[in-house]
Amino acid sequence: MTLLVSIFASDILPIFLIAGVGFLLARWLDGGVKTLAHFVFYALVPCLVFKLLVASTISRPQVGRMAELAVLVTGLMGLLALVVAMALRLSRAELSAFLLVVMFSNGGNYGLPVALFAFGTEALSHATVYFVASSMLTNTVGVFLAAAGRRSATQAVRGIAGVPAIYGVAAALLVLASGISVPIAVMRPIGLLGDAALPMMVLVLGMQLERARVAERPTVVAVAVGLSLIVAPIVALGLSSFLGLSGAARQAGVILASMPVAVVTTILALEFDVAPAFVTNAVFISTLLSPLTLTPLIAYLRR
């Protein structure tokens, strides 16, 4: 019990305190979450990705396995969600929302800081690869699910091209492959912007959680949250063993797959009008309950 309390206090509580500041900014000062989210998405995250990959010792095979883990976890959770949704007899819109909630976890705003606090810089580098792969899936598979067939393949590809973190990965891989030394005058501002990414992402998380309202389908929300927080870690542990991941890579992959529901799913649900109240509540409740599952999971992964 002492170990669990220590893990919560050092690895989880700091994130909730920062998110609490964001929540209060949105509630009392009417903070503009959209502008701040765009700033983080387009400016800070690409710098963070570039900085971590350039400074890391991750090999290309490890990068491939982390990306593969993200794809397999997302796909398997989607299949499980589809089976459960059929049993729940959801409408078409509810089915899209249910799949979004179960398949996509909050690897950015929440997962990256937890990976850093709980397992260190090396794990954060691996977690960044998982996060980028997951973002690509969100902007393709997620968009298709939310749009329910109303968007073309070309628009989905454009969605991938619109993820700035991908360009950070491409630039980092170019530097690593060519052996180019990045000038200090370039690396320092990139480093400063990258360092600002994690706290700003958590602030955005808190501001977005302030939008949560009373659940319309509490039973369905509970099932979706259970799949996200309880089933997903089991799936990720099994797949990480199957792929031969160990050490920091295994820790990072499992912890990101076990995060609560991704906040970006609320944006997709609102954009395509697929049960937005249900999605927002799933995000809110899964985030509040996540310390109960993440704390023992961190203790297990540290063994």
pLDDT digits (tens, 9 = 90+) for 73-105: 999 999 999 999 988 888 888 888 899 999 999
- The whole-number average pLDDT for the span 38-52 is 82
% of the chain surpassing 70 pLDDT: 89
- pLDDT recorded at residue 26: 83
Q: Is the pLDDT of residue 179 over 90?
A: no
- What is the pTM assigned to this prediction? 0.80
- The whole-number average pLDDT for the span 164-171 is 80
SS (H, E, C) the chain: CHHHHHHHHHHHHHHHHHHHHHHHHHHHCCCCHHHHHHHHHHHHHHHHHHHHHHHCCCCHHHHHHHHHHHHHHHHHHHHHHHHHHHHHCCCHHHHHHHHHHHHCECHHHHHHHHHHHHHCHHHHHHHHHHHHHHHHHHHHHHHHHHHCCCCCHHHHHHHHHCCHHHHHHHHHHHHHHHCCCCCHHHHHHHHHHHHHHHHHHHHHHHHHHCCCCCCCCHHHHHHHHHHHHHHHHHHHHHHHHHCCCCHHHHHHHHHHHCCCECCHHHHHHHHHCCCHHHHHHHHHHHHHHHHHHHHHHHHHHCC
- pLDDT recorded at residue 202: 79
pLDDT, tens digit, 9 for 90 and up, residues 234-286: 999 999 999 999 999 999 999 999 999 987 787 677 667 777 778 888 888 89
- pLDDT recorded at residue 157: 59
**Among 25-29, 47-51, 265-269, whose mean pLDDT is lowest?**
265-269
- pLDDT recorded at residue 299: 94
Selection from 9-13, 44-48, 132-136, 252-256 with the highest mean pLDDT: 252-256
Q: Is the pLDDT of residue 63 over 50?
A: yes
**Among 37-41, 48-52, 57-61, 187-191, whose mean pLDDT is lowest?**
57-61
Selection from 96-100, 109-113, 150-154 with the highest mean pLDDT: 96-100
Q: pLDDT-based confidence at 150, cuts 50/70/90? A: very low
- pLDDT recorded at residue 23: 87
